[in-house]
Structure 1
């Protein structure tokens, strides 16, 4: 496989394991990634994760702002195959049609389920118990290409988006290297996606981050862990935002209370009424403060009992 000239396209941390596996097993002649961006409170110009890896391995880096207009330098490298993983831009037909072995994508779901840019978040938020990796031929539309191979993984109740992200990143790298020989030999599957089974996982919006206590305790629990450790769910208490990192499902039933109301204080938790019971907040970040255990948060109140009856919205 070392004679196969590969261009890799990817951007975030999720792509790094895939790139490293390609560097170990093929001839990566170029890496295409998004432009450097300002990040953090200090707005420091920051390189994408895969760019750092490429530079460490003396691989040419291309960072088009609009790849549909700035693709010639990619074609000029004359790749045998282009492999993408969480790149972040749609590829033009000129690129899709060029490599002799095609353009292949590593997607973090079992397609046709969860097409889009946030399949790991939405798998947890939407209550999936299983997800996985799909290696697929690329098409002009979002994640609509024919399936080559898939491998599934169980979503455990202890998983959050961070742990599942790491598991799927490793699985994607592994499955890609297993699948590449069949692509090069021309024996790769082309399984057309079943249009009737399509679901979508669009990028997380600010609205998605806002906890909805009118939902069931399982739905709220999944929303919290499906956004932890990024971008993190939040709720508003007395006009101040509180980010919520971790919670557990409680046993209380409070039919006479309002959804979102603080109904019980525990030694290390805050019980909140939801549509069918109780969710107990465990790790939070109050506005202007650091991330903390609820136990430490409660210790900051002279009269903790004054919190009872207050309502999150």
Structure 2
């Protein structure tokens, strides 16, 4: 059987820097796993669109849609499954989990902060705070995932407070989170950019940083590893479901019928327990 195609699904942006950043990320993915077919599709704004990418896959092929998105919002729960259903039965497509939250994502965010000027130390630990800027969603599962990622990043930073914030659709906003950390006595506040590529939300979030602002994640090696991890997870889950279905559909093997023993032989000899491993009839009285 041919290897399922990894279709990375980006949101899309009018920012001309977005497509090169996503393309560079997929080059990292290809370098980590040579021979794996990797394609790109966008939800909107950029070409190729996801539907067009799926239309170009060979008939009878398989694909795993890996969202380059960080939470289980509307795109992951509705748009991608709809595209997968529309491609069937010509292409068998399944949808992988979004990239966040995951320790590899916290690793990439930490590195981008370091590149922007973050330096660990006693002073930083006492005075600094981080706003984790994400796109935002009305789906509570998505915002809960962002808060879990903020906790992972805080742990990675040695306990420095990290507050999740959103560029749209949810609260707090990035400026609101900055004010909240300031009210808690944090005087040096950085913004970590939980975006795959440059765009309107990433630019707006960075502009609200009172201190340093990290770049979008782009072609970070940890992000490339995470893309492959989500791809592998989706394949493993499908194989597990297939195995369960086969097990459930198999006929149970019936043991051969036995000829019943004579009635007298079915009862143990009164003294049989003494010579066997079975407990004596009165043994439980002493327990």
Q: TM-score surpassing 0.5?
A: no
TM-score after normalising by structure 1: 0.31
Bigger Rg over Cα: 2
The structure with the greater share of residues assigned to strand is 1
Relative contact order, CA 8 A, sep 6+: which one is greater? 2
The structure with the greater share of residues assigned to helix is 2
